[in-house]
């Protein structure tokens, strides 16, 4: 019997392609050419599954043009590149890659917080530029991490990982804001206290954003929220571009209305707002929070597990809309 056909839309580990080839006829994009919508649609003809990363948008147009498609498996925990409602309506399963990246991403959130608060990259640029000629008492004086107040907006698994690092590792006073309050045992494990968003913004020394992107979370931090923050505070975004109004943030940084920011994600990435590139008090990284080899491999294998599990046994590992498909009896 011929193997079912799938598309791997971006370059991934060769060993993962080899694994998928045992189960499927794989059209892979190891050249890593970014596929625009027409190219994606063309490559998806006759394919029952697609392995996506956050850069491929799966919407009603793509679904209408690709009637053979049964599953889209994202190699990311975030899935704002998927129109899940349109996928459910079309009977297409959506899966993401949660859990396997939690600790790695929490590590990076902390790395970015520390680099930002202690001005690590700014001072390195100064040194590399040959500007370091003498010691001075206030050279690159930043803000303390130990004993300070850490405010986390979005207290899912990654937010909790950051809270634990802050509370247990650095003796930070941890406050958080979330759609819902955590139960008491989780709050105790994280040593974290629930507060309103305004209180968090007014009192935190370091505000870390870990909320999923949606229309509701668009510009969670804009000019009004930045104005509430302490002038000594730092803002860290490891969530998604669009959670922060990058133009408003660049103004706040330039005018020193907050001390500094650390950003791993950007509105319209890989483009970065030009004003962010000209302010010194921001640490900029290219969406690498989950980027360690073991974690990226685990994410790629989880996306593959979903493709194999669903297409061979109707058993996806981390489905997003299985209940919707089952309720409507829509699964293809």
**Binding flags for ligand GLV, 129-168, as an x/- string (CB under 6 A):** ----------------------------------------
Closest CA to 161 of 217, 238, 96: 238
CB 290 within 8 A of CB 53: no
Per CB under 6 A, the segment of 70-78, 166-174, 180-188, 196-204 that binds ligand GLV is 70-78
Per CB under 6 A, the segment of 76-84, 113-121, 144-152, 246-254 that binds ligand GLV is 76-84
Per CB under 6 A, the segment of 55-63, 74-82, 107-115, 217-225 that binds ligand GLV is 74-82
157 CB burial (10 A radius; 0-12, 13-18, 19+): middle
Told to judge if 269 belongs to the known catalytic residues of this protein, a careful annotator would answer yes
* 242 vs 265: CA distance, rounded Å: 9
CB 332 within 8 A of CB 92: yes
Q: In what order do the strands lie in the sheet with 49-52?
A: 25-28, 5-8, 49-52, 71-74, 93-95
Among residues 226 and 266, whose Cβ is nearest to ligand GLV? 266
Told to judge if 122 belongs to the known catalytic residues of this protein, a careful annotator would answer no
- Residue 76 in contact with ligand GLV, rule: CB under 6 A: yes
- Tell which one of 77, 163, 201, 300 touches ligand GLV (CB under 6 A): 77
Among residues 182 and 303, whose Cβ is nearest to ligand GLV? 303
- Residue 295 in contact with ligand GLV, rule: CB under 6 A: no
CB 74 within 8 A of CB 291: no
Q: Would you state the structure tokens that stand for residue 25, as one six-digit string?
A: 């006829």
- Residue 78 in contact with ligand GLV, rule: CB under 6 A: yes
- Tell which one of 290, 304, 306, 321 touches ligand GLV (CB under 6 A): 290
CB 146 within 8 A of CB 171: yes
- Residue 73 in contact with ligand GLV, rule: CB under 6 A: no
* 88 vs 107: CA distance, rounded Å: 34
* Structure-derived torsion over alpha carbons of residues 19, 22, 27, 31, reported in degrees to the nearest 10: 30
Q: Least distance (Å) from ligand GLV to the CB of residue 285? A: 12
Q: Which of 269, 273, 296, 324 is catalytic?
A: 269
- Residues catalogued as catalytic: 240, 269, 287
Binding site for ligand GLV (CB under 6 A): 54, 76-78, 101, 290
């Amino acid at each position: 019997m011929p193997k079912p056909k799938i598309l791997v839309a971006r370059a991934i580990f060769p060993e993962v392609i080899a694994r998928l080839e045992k189960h499927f006829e794989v059209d892979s994009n190891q050249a890593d050419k970014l596929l625009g919508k027409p190219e994606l649609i063309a490559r998806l003809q006759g394919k029952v599954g697609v392995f996506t990363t956050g850069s491929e948008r799966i919407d009603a147009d793509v679904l209408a043009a690709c009637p053979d498609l049964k599953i889209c498996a994202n190699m990311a925990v975030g899935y704002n590149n998927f129109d899940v409602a349109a996928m459910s309506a079309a009977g297409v399963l959506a899966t993401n890659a949660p859990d396997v990246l939690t600790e790695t991403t929490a590590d990076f959130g902390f790395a970015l917080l520390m680099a930002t608060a202690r001005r690590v990259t700014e001072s390195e640029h100064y040194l590399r530029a040959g500007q370091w000629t003498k010691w001075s008492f206030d050279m690159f004086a930043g803000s303390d991490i130990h004993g300070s107040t850490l405010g986390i907006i979005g207290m899912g698994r990654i937010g909790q990982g950051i809270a634990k690092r802050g509370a247990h590792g650095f003796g930070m006073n941890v406050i958080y804001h979330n759609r819902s309050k955590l139960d008491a045992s989780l709050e105790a494990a994280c040593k974290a206290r629930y507060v309103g968003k305004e209180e968090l913004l007014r009192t935190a020394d370091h505000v870390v954003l870990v909320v999923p992107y949606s229309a509701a979370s668009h510009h969670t931090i804009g000019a009004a929220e930045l104005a509430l923050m302490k002038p000594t505070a730092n803002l860290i975004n490891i969530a998604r571009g669009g959670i922060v109004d990058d133009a408003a943030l660049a103004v706040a940084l330039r005018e020193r209305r907050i001390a500094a920011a650390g950003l791993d994600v950007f509105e319209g990435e890989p483009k970065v707002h030009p004003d962010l590139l000209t302010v010194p008090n921001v640490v900029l990284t290219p969406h690498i929070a989950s980027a360690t080899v073991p974690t990226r491999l685990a994410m790629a294998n989880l996306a593959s597990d979903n493709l194999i599990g669903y297409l061979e046994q109707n058993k996806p590992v981390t489905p997003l809309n299985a209940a919707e498909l089952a309720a409507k009896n829509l699964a293809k």
